[in-house]
Amino acid sequence: MNRNPFSRNALFAATAIAGTIALAFLLSGPSRAAEDAAIIPPPTLDAKTATGIQTAVVAGGCFWGVQGVFQHTAGVLNAVSGYAGGARESATYDKVSTGTTGHAESVEIKFDPKRISYGKILQIFFSVAHDPTQLDRQGPDSGPQYRSEIFTLNDEQKEISDAYIAQLNAAGVYKKPIVTRVAALKGFFPAESYHQDYLTLHPSQPYIAYYDIPKIRNLKKIFADSYVEKPTLVSSAKITN
């Protein structure tokens, strides 16, 4: 269970005054997210030409930042924060936060394959959305619910994911091995409404400002051709679950 006083859960409960003080403190140093962003090659194996709306599900720590990254990604029609890896009955924030339900905080991404490929989504996921070398944690958040995992919907996605992890490890892109798991998706359960669009709605919240806003900046810098200024929010997306 996460006991870091500067974790998301601790900051999530802070008052506005305390948050302002914490924000000033956090922004006085370099951003961990900015340090961890990596320029990586695209996957040599990618999805074949597909038609219709496609779905990808990834987990990389707190879903606020991962959702925010893909909401600013061209070709993404909707990105929803939620839970994957466990049962429907225990897919609630309070239960998942115990780290005992088998879930990971995840993001379901609906995308147009004519505008962005599955492999490109994985490239952005590994490059700016999270650090794939951290085991059962991400930044200040620890526990299996913050693990790095790709939940695949079919054999092609599994093949692409496995091949890309092997490719990046062989290239020595990171100083440590990638620990990202790859598993078949058994179910995705949207998170509570107050978790949706969190980055956009709370840009000055200390956790968001320090750990997640730099991810958006890195997306714009490293993947300029895939960046869109106006995010595609759950509250206004035309594609729903």
- pLDDT per residue as tens digits for the range 215-239: 999 999 999 999 999 999 998 887 6
**Quick one: average pLDDT of 181-190?**
98
With respect to residue 2, please indicate whether it lies within any of the assigned structural domains. Answer: no
Which pLDDT value is given to residue 241? 59
Q: Scanning the structure block, which residue is given the tokens 């990105």?
A: 79
Domains: count for the chain = 1
Judged by average pLDDT, the poorest of 24-38, 70-84, 112-126, 198-212 is 24-38
Run of H or E including 166? helix 155-171
With respect to residue 234, please indicate whether it lies within any of the assigned structural domains. Answer: no
| Residue-number span of the structural domain to which 78 is assigned | 8-35+50-226
Pick the catalytic residue from 22, 37, 56, 62: 62
Return phi, psi of residue 219, to 5°: -60, -45
Q: Is the pLDDT of residue 68 over 60?
A: yes
Which pLDDT value is given to residue 30? 44
Which pLDDT value is given to residue 36? 64
Residues 6 or more apart in contact with residue 118 via CB below 8 angstroms = 46, 47, 54, 56, 156, 157, 160
CATH of the domain at 92: 3.30.1060.10
**Quick one: average pLDDT of 203-217?**
95
Is residue 107 classed as helix, strand or coil in its secondary structure?
strand
With respect to residue 240, please indicate whether it lies within any of the assigned structural domains. Answer: no
Which pLDDT value is given to residue 10? 56
Is residue 205 flagged as an active site residue?
Answer: no
d(Cα 107, Cα 66) in Å, to the nearest integer? Answer: 7
Q: What is the pTM of this model?
A: 0.88
d(Cα 175, Cα 197) in Å, to the nearest integer? Answer: 32
Q: Is the pLDDT of residue 132 over 60?
A: yes
